[in-house]
Structure 1
């Protein structure tokens, strides 16, 4: 039995294995439990093992590589078209195996434990930010129902809400005031927790020479730099900077046929958190460009005049993504500044 590619459909407890030989013939099928997986894989001759990107994929990739196999990770969107008939574990494992044998299927960059640690910080912080936004929105809604309108700004909310709650002469009842005070305390507690995560991310940034090189790019700060390193590592999984920009989702969607080429809005594929960080940084570059006269900022200003603020912002974000790839691959600092 000679297995060339082994597809593994991973789950919490039950794992489905599907192996094919060089000609594509099925030579191995097995269903194993979680505690049996590494033992079974270790008994198989060295081959290419393919895993669908999902929760636990990077953990199992590291464990399987320790046994001696080569591991590839494929995005679920490229596996789904190869699922035949009904969806079940066996068909999923077969689809993973089939997708891996296609020469044009891109792979998901693997993550080390350090990268996953940084990503955990970003995800936990973003969860706190989302909760804070929800709490402030609820406070604004409750106050609007009592005749107090507050603009959409966290800074304005911090200033105005305490003034409203401390004014005992307004029409807010005791019960409503108590409820709003509890929500405001929750808002302040979330603020405190977000600051803690910011400090941890800043500490990671200070300890990483790669992150500091990336942060020299205009529009890229500590959060963007650490998120980039956590997501793509050294960028070796990408052929060039345009490939990275497309993976993040900063390129137009195509709807073309024949000799008629139609480009639409940005594709919004890839890492949403990473894309939003790059776009926010690019927005600051476009906003401050009119005050500068160097070559790069003139390009930004001309682009803004031709295509508008939003398109110029995405273009700068796309350019930053390509520059980041070059910095990661060459190991040299950024020489282009806005």
Structure 2
């Protein structure tokens, strides 16, 4: 599954059928019709590899239509491919691989995000688009100022002023939307009790992840986002460096970067961890990655328990694999 297309494989009565469709609303509708035309019961597991928004849109449409959906972390698919000694790496081969995985694996039913979360995500995406546009215009203005193209510079400044106004309006809409939804407001307040998590970060996390209680553990949530450690080692060496797996929800992971930077200077739990990791020789980048992972555990802890953050109360499992 990619930004532009869906590679599909259906296995029924030991027969395999493949199809390629556009990853658009029209393509999603055609997929749902194609599945119905094959006389498949809606309890048939429809398994998608998690690719962030590319998979979530089609998964939501199929779930709303009543199909049994499972959205699987790419790490599980990769592990299954290795167990099969699979060598072919094409979109069609991957679709067949996922179909075989669906027949053998223990699957968890995926639930689409609530309407309130979907609306929040649309607002958060709009805010990010406006912020990105503003940065582009600021970069353009710097280049124009150096070239002294006055008339164009005035137009760019006017556009930046408009963008600033729109950013303020959308941020206000996000705040109102969260305040108007008791569940979102409750979860946002719990997250914002964690030093390092502010209003924007909590809104992004709620928009991209929804209810974290659907994950069986903080470790499962961290794997979904892609902030679990990945060990690199070669030959007989056991001292390879670790890094973030990055096999997960890209937008959620990006949303954690600045909070991770802030938390390692202002969150007492993460400050202590960062100091230990620095003494062990980890790079600043690796420490930020570990801070992001720790934040995921803290977020899961406060939301699962329903209690605000307290530095003096340790959370079970929080120290596991803290280094990245």
| Residue aligning to 1:219 | 196
**Residue 183 of structure 1: CA displacement?**
0.9
**Residue 108 of structure 1: CA displacement?**
7.3
For 1:1-338, what aligned pairs fall within 5 Å after superposition?
Answer: 16=8, 18-20=10-12, 25-26=14-15, 29=17, 33-34=30-31, 36-37=33-34, 39-40=36-37, 44=41, 46-53=43-50, 54=54, 56-64=57-65, 66=66, 69-74=67-72, 87=90, 93-103=95-105, 110-145=112-147, 172=148, 176-206=149-179, 207=181, 208=184, 209-256=186-233, 260-288=238-266, 296=269, 299=272, 302-303=275-276, 306=279, 307=282, 310-336=285-311
Partners of 1:20 and 1:177 in 2: CA distance? 66
**Partner of 2:308: helix, strand, or coil?**
coil
**Residue 42 of structure 1: CA displacement?**
7.0
- Per-residue CA deviations over 1:9-65 (Å, capped at 9, x if unaligned) read 8999999561346xxx33x7486945734744776263322234435323333234x
- Per-residue CA deviations over 1:64-106 (Å, capped at 9, x if unaligned) read 4x3xx432123567668599869576x5643331132453889
Using a 3 Å threshold, how does the CA distance of structure 1 residues 76 and 313 change in structure 2: closer, same or farther?
Answer: closer
**Residue 280 of structure 1: CA displacement?**
1.2
Contact between 1:75 and 1:107, CA under 8 Å: does it hold in 2? Answer: no
Alpha-carbon RMSD: 3.9
Partners of 1:305 and 1:319 in 2: CA distance? 15
| Residue aligning to 1:159 | none
TM-score (norm 2): 0.71
Contact between 1:58 and 1:111, CA under 8 Å: does it hold in 2? Answer: no
Using a 3 Å threshold, how does the CA distance of structure 1 residues 88 and 304 change in structure 2: closer, same or farther?
Answer: closer
Partners of 1:222 and 1:202 in 2: CA distance? 8
Unaligned runs of 5+ in 2: 22-29, 314-324
- Per-residue CA deviations over 1:121-152 (Å, capped at 9, x if unaligned) read 1222111111111111111122234xxxxxxx
Partners of 2:2 and 2:142 in 1: CA distance? 44
Contact between 1:204 and 1:226, CA under 8 Å: does it hold in 2? Answer: no
- Per-residue CA deviations over 1:223-275 (Å, capped at 9, x if unaligned) read 22222222222224534223323432334331135571423333334233322
Unaligned runs of 5+ in 1: 1-8, 146-171, 290-294
- Per-residue CA deviations over 1:170-206 (Å, capped at 9, x if unaligned) read xx4xxx2111100111111111111112112212332
**Partner of 2:246: helix, strand, or coil?**
coil
Contact between 1:252 and 1:263, CA under 8 Å: does it hold in 2? Answer: no
Count residues with an aligned counterpart.
288
Contact between 1:249 and 1:270, CA under 8 Å: does it hold in 2? Answer: yes
Contact between 2:124 and 2:207, CA under 8 Å: does it hold in 1? Answer: no
**Residue 119 of structure 1: CA displacement?**
1.6
